[in-house]
Amino acid sequence: MQGISDRSPVIQELLEEKILSFGRKKLLNRLFDSLSRTQKRMIQLRFYKQIEYAETCEILDLSYQSARTLTCGGLLAGCGVGSLSEKTFCR
C-alpha cells in the first residue's frame, strides 16, 4: 500500500487543499452559528442572494442603518474583531 509520501506532488497538493477547505468550512459554520438569527438572515440575503440593502430592509422590516449595523457586526464577528468599534470598520 502506498503512503502519502509515495504519491505524486499533485495528489499531495489536492489532499492538502481538501483538508484546508474542510477546515475553512468548519470554521465558517462555527462562526455563522455564533451570529444572531437576524444577522444570519441579513448576511444570507445580502451576500448569498445578493439582494441590495433597500430590499433586505423591507424583507426584514428594518431601517437602513439597522441593516448595515447587523451586517457589519456579523462580518466583524466572523473576522474575530467584534470587540473593536464598529464605527471604525462600518462606514
Give Cα separations from 86 to 5, 59, 91 (angstroms): 47, 24, 9
Residue 84, domain member (yes or no): yes
Residue 40, domain member (yes or no): yes
Render pLDDT for 45-67 as a digit per residue (tens, 0 to 9). 988 899 998 999 999 999 988 88
Residue 24, domain member (yes or no): yes
Residue 31, domain member (yes or no): yes
Whole-number pLDDT of residue 63:
92
Write out the DSSP string of 23-37: HHHHHHHHHHHTS-H
Q: What's the CATH code of the domain at 26?
A: 1.10.10.10
Render pLDDT for 12-21 as a digit per residue (tens, 0 to 9). 787 778 787 8
Residue 3, domain member (yes or no): no
Q: Identity (one letter) of the amino acid at 36?
A: S
Residue 57 to residue 35: CA distance in whole angstroms: 18
Confidence of residue 68 (pLDDT cuts 50, 70, 90): confident
The boundaries of the domain holding residue 39 are 8-89
Total structural domains in the chain? 1
Residue 39, domain member (yes or no): yes
Residue 14, domain member (yes or no): yes
Q: Who wins on pLDDT, 82 or 29?
A: 29
